[in-house]
Amino acid sequence: MERLCDEVIQLIFYELIDPTSLTLVCKRFHRFSQDPYVRAHYFLSRYGPTEAMFYALGRGKVLTERVLDILLTSGAHLSRYLIQISMHHYFYTQAHFIKTPWVRTVRMGVFVYFLKLAEERYGEIPRGKGEDDGSLFSSFLKESRLPVQLRHVSWEVIRDILESYSDPLMSQFPLALAIEPRLLPYAVKNGFYMDSKYRDFVFRKMFERPPPSNEISPEDIAHNVRELCRLDSTMFVSRTVAAEVCMEARSNDSGYTALKQLDKSGHLLFELGNLVEDLLKTFLKTRSISSQHTIEILRYLFTDFPTSDPTARLVILVTVFVTSENLHSTTASIHGKLDALGLLPLTRRDVYNILVNPFVERYQVLLEYAKREVTARENGSKGLSAVEIRQLVEEVGAKLLEVACKGKLLKKLYDGFPSLHDSIIRLVTEKYQITVADVPSWVDGEVSRSFEGKLCQDFAKQGPLEPTGEVNDEEGKEEDQESDVEDLYDSSSLGEVEESESGVDLGSITQESLTTMIRHDEITPVRSRRRTHYLYGPFTDSSGKMQYPHDPLHVGRWIKSQFGTKSSVTAVFMTHAVINDNSSVLNNYLMYADGTQASPVSSHVPVTFKHFQILARLGRAPNFYLYHDIEFGADFYLDENDYATKDDDVRKAYDSNKVKTEIGHISPTSPLHDKFEALPLGPPQRGKKRPRRTATTVRSYAVPDSDDDAIVDGSDYMEEYEKKPKLVESSLSKWIRHLSELMKEEQRKYKDHKKRIELASEPGTKTRVMKTEFLRSVSSHLRSLRKVEETRRLKLYGPEVSVENYSDDGDDEYQHKATRSKRRRVM
């Protein structure tokens, strides 16, 4: 450090927040820190010319007359507003935003010299309350919503403050640009730079709905936008702000009209018609489409910018029939609305698309209209026949099975059309049946991780399932102008950020209104506002952006209540719920009968060993409800064929009297079963190793004497023996045995997979292959199940009967051998 030159030491000083500690290291550093030039340029290099004087006044002990002279001659800004605030703060008057000693640490002589320099530069400086430049600027912002004749501070006053007195620009200056764009050149002269993060904030205030007392014409708004864009080439109206203005088309007429004027004059970097089209398409899968306020806005926008896009057209059709269902409108009134909106003619495909929409929960008005006005392609006549209506309902019902939140409409169609009953049974059991061989193995990687069941999707977590089916038409093809259903509901690209031809980011589309976003900007702290991006609309109303109705009925729950717990149809839905890990449906299937009270195990949808085999193949952890149901007495079934009936016409609920009881299985109706399942849980006891083979029964070779007639007769002995409970294999034991074998099989697969990876990797590299989630889950839960099973056996049979608790060891050579008794034989 002693060999360093002064220039290097000076650079080190500039990098320190507080060089005080370094000045105490040696006398050389202390003498170096006393140099006025070093002190002045420390503030200039660290804080810049704009803020150097402000921070220098806060370090009063190092500030001298010579340091002040060097700061001013080296380019440090000294504004009149900074002088006014320093005077107020030094003499203990108003300084609302300063919470530190700041200028009060400056010595009196140095501060007097500072005031002398200020007087030489600006002459007489206003010092009264409310006369400082900051108060004038705040009044200018507050009075911006008043008529021009009622404002006390004009924009010319702010212009003079910026031009003559070099006032530093405040953090709220972008708001002033929204009020008066002509201030921008004067602000730029003082070093102001318009950050792109302020862009949307500025234009929001320009398009803001004016108060009733100050009617701003659309021409004035459009002129301010053009002027700001002319003064700064980086300023433009983004798609985000334009969409927010469109969402207030009915209430903010001046802003919406100004936006249309800018579109006609070519001052927008995008076509406003395309923006409205994209905005309409975002409502296809959001709850806000059923709001009456939103419906009026969407129809108003569609009237101003009609489009032939099938998705946007479907959105308007849904709004028409949602309103008509609520008002019970007649066919004639509906026809008039559709004609006024230019949506005629209505086709069979349109009826299908409307019914499969997640937010349409009634069908009566729509089907009544279809019977009279929908075009039938077979003969060209209007109205669908009863046969065509029935076929359409069956196709809609088939698709609603996949849209998990459409349970209410599916129930109404099921009650209104009896033919849908057999159709659902046939479709579910033939199309959606999943076997273990149909599931990809976890070794495939991404294929198995992305595998999902089409039924029982968790719409609360990921929204409703997107309909991707098509209407089966007798002629085979639709007209060219009609899009497929999968195109209409594929809105993955809607609302994304778009770029102009020049590569400028135009922003994304949200469903928020302009007023909502302005209020959010006003309540957001200034520092947070500087870092905020409005690309993804994070401040949305969750009640309007959900992709399912307000009070949905899950299709899986309706299936259970309609077909029963032991139906083949319910079994298919159970399998899909297990694959999708749908905790909501599994809770209803395995925990509650009516959603309010806990139900017995006999009323649950059965858990089968097939469910664990599928999850093992996928490598996924079973849901907690599966283990819970097994622990509390679920019967063991290999698959749904063990309990479901095989009637071709109707798969009725399971009749427990017709089920074949396996050998050694405790019947659910026997007293022993109730006694076994009702036993309280106690502290588990440590089990022993699995024996190599079954131990033989110990025989007694003692010869009874003449006093052992009772023993010889055997009546008392047999009576006592019959009173003891028989040692049988319970359902829990069967679950443990089969899950143990499945776990061993998966462990072998894991070891083989690990060996293949190690052989394929380069020599000397250490590879780490993680176990599947299924292995980790089952290995931990099996220990818990074994403890429960052992405790119950001990309480049921007592300690006289040995309890076999099988370990996790899979190698046969480590099996435990039962020792033979060395009791001497008696002749």
Question: pLDDT tens digits, residue range 225-279?
Answer: 998 888 888 889 999 999 999 999 999 999 999 999 999 999 999 999 999 999 9
Going from the C-alpha of 766 to that of each of 231, 445, 752, 755, the distances in angstroms are 62, 20, 17, 12
Q: Which residues contact 85 (CB under 8 A, 6 or more apart)?
A: 95, 98, 132, 134
**Angle (deg, nearest 10), helices 407-416 and 386-400:** 150
CB atoms within 10 A of CB 660: 6
Strands (E), 682-816: none
The sign one gets for the Cα dihedral 180, 251, 358, 491 is negative
**Angle (deg, nearest 10), helices 731-760 and 609-618:** 10
Chain position carrying tokens 């209410």 = 408
SS3 564: coil
- Of 198-202, 280-284, 481-485, which one has max mean pLDDT? 280-284
Q: Which residues contact 481 (CB under 8 A, 6 or more apart)?
A: 308, 310
Chain position carrying tokens 């294999």 = 729
**Angle (deg, nearest 10), helices 555-563 and 568-580:** 150
Going from the C-alpha of 100 to that of each of 67, 105, 696, 783, the distances in angstroms are 22, 10, 91, 63
Is residue 198 within 8 A of residue 226, CB to CB? The reply is no
pLDDT at 681: 37
Nearest Cα to Cα of residue 412 among 284, 553, 593:
553
| pLDDT score of 115 more than 60 | yes
Question: pLDDT tens digits, residue range 542-589?
Answer: 557 888 888 899 999 999 999 988 899 999 999 999 999 999 999 999
Is residue 659 within 8 A of residue 643, CB to CB? The reply is yes
Q: Which residues contact 277 (CB under 8 A, 6 or more apart)?
A: 305, 307, 309, 312
- Of 280-284, 372-376, 670-674, 722-726, which one has max mean pLDDT? 280-284
Least confident stretch, 34-48, 175-189, 398-412, 719-733 = 719-733
Is residue 356 within 8 A of residue 399, CB to CB? The reply is yes
Q: What is the distance between the alpha carbons of residues 566 and 607, in angstroms, rounded to a whole number? A: 10
For 80, counting Cβ atoms within 10 Å of its Cβ (0-12 exposed, 13-18 middle, 19+ buried), the class is: buried
- Of 377-381, 392-396, 692-696, which one has max mean pLDDT? 392-396
Averaged pLDDT for residues 351-359? 94
The sign one gets for the Cα dihedral 492, 495, 501, 505 is negative
Q: What is the distance between the alpha carbons of residues 792 and 797, in angstroms, rounded to a whole number? A: 9
598 pairs with which residues across the strands? 592
Write the DSSP assignment of 265-321 as a string of letters.
Answer: HT-SSS-HHHHHHHHHHTTTTSGGGG-HHHHHHHHHHHHHS----HHHHHHHHHHHH
| pLDDT score of 651 more than 80 | no
- Find the angle CA(372)-CA(373)-CA(374) to the nearest 5 degrees: 110
For 313, counting Cβ atoms within 10 Å of its Cβ (0-12 exposed, 13-18 middle, 19+ buried), the class is: buried
Is residue 318 within 8 A of residue 359, CB to CB? The reply is yes
Chain position carrying tokens 């034989």 = 825
Which spans in 619-662 are helix H? 624-631
For 824: left if phi > 0, alpha if psi spans -120 to 50, otherwise beta; the answer is beta
Nearest Cα to Cα of residue 532 among 542, 544, 523:
523
* Per-residue confidence band for 525, with pLDDT thresholds at 50, 70 and 90: low
Is residue 89 within 8 A of residue 45, CB to CB? The reply is no
pLDDT at 758: 86
Nearest Cα to Cα of residue 311 among 340, 273, 283:
283
Q: What is the distance between the alpha carbons of residues 344 and 325, in angstroms, rounded to a whole number? A: 19
The answer to whether the bond into 49 is cis (omega within 30° of 0) is: no
More confident residue, 803 or 320: 320
Residue 156, token pair as written in the block: 């010319």
pLDDT at 718: 52
Pairing of strands 505-507, 498-499: antiparallel
SS3 503: coil
- Find the angle CA(217)-CA(223)-CA(225) to the nearest 5 degrees: 110
The secondary structure of residue 214, as a DSSP letter, is S
The secondary structure of residue 506, as a DSSP letter, is E
Averaged pLDDT for residues 27-33? 77
Is residue 267 within 8 A of residue 229, CB to CB? The reply is yes
- Find the angle CA(445)-CA(451)-CA(452) to the nearest 5 degrees: 155
Q: What is the distance between the alpha carbons of residues 577 and 571, in angstroms, rounded to a whole number? A: 10
Nearest Cα to Cα of residue 316 among 336, 294, 332, 331:
294
Task: Give the mean pLDDT of the chain.
Answer: 78
The sign one gets for the Cα dihedral 198, 200, 206, 210 is negative
More confident residue, 650 or 445: 445
Is residue 733 within 8 A of residue 631, CB to CB? The reply is no
SS3 of 470-489: the string is CCCCCCCCCCCCCCCHHHHH
pLDDT at 638: 92
Q: How far, rounded to the nearest angstrom, does the alpha carbon of residue 38 sit from its chain's CA centroid?
A: 54
Residue 412, token pair as written in the block: 């109404």
Q: What is the distance between the alpha carbons of residues 180 and 282, in angstroms, rounded to a whole number? A: 34
Tabulate helix, strand, coil % of the chain (nearest 5).
Answer: 55, 0, 45
Which spans in 59-132 are helix H? 65-73, 80-90, 108-122
Chain position carrying tokens 């921070």 = 55
Write the DSSP assignment of 129-159 as a string of letters.
Answer: TT-SHHHHHHHHHHGGGS-GGG-SS-HHHHH
* Per-residue confidence band for 433, with pLDDT thresholds at 50, 70 and 90: very high
Length of the chain: 827
pLDDT at 302: 96
The secondary structure of residue 653, as a DSSP letter, is P
SS3 556: helix
| pLDDT score of 200 more than 80 | yes
Q: What are phi and psi of 319, to 5 degrees?
A: -65, -35
Q: What is the distance between the alpha carbons of residues 562 and 96, in angstroms, rounded to a whole number? A: 69
Percent of the chain at pLDDT exceeding 70 = 74
More confident residue, 807 or 598: 598
Percent of the chain at pLDDT exceeding 90 = 40
pLDDT at 139: 80
Q: What is the distance between the alpha carbons of residues 291 and 296, in angstroms, rounded to a whole number? A: 9
Q: What is the distance between the alpha carbons of residues 311 and 315, in angstroms, rounded to a whole number? A: 6
| pLDDT score of 684 more than 90 | no
* Per-residue confidence band for 502, with pLDDT thresholds at 50, 70 and 90: low
More confident residue, 723 or 7: 7
Q: What are phi and psi of 592, to 5 degrees?
A: -125, 140
- Find the angle CA(610)-CA(615)-CA(619) to the nearest 5 degrees: 150
499 pairs with which residues across the strands? 505
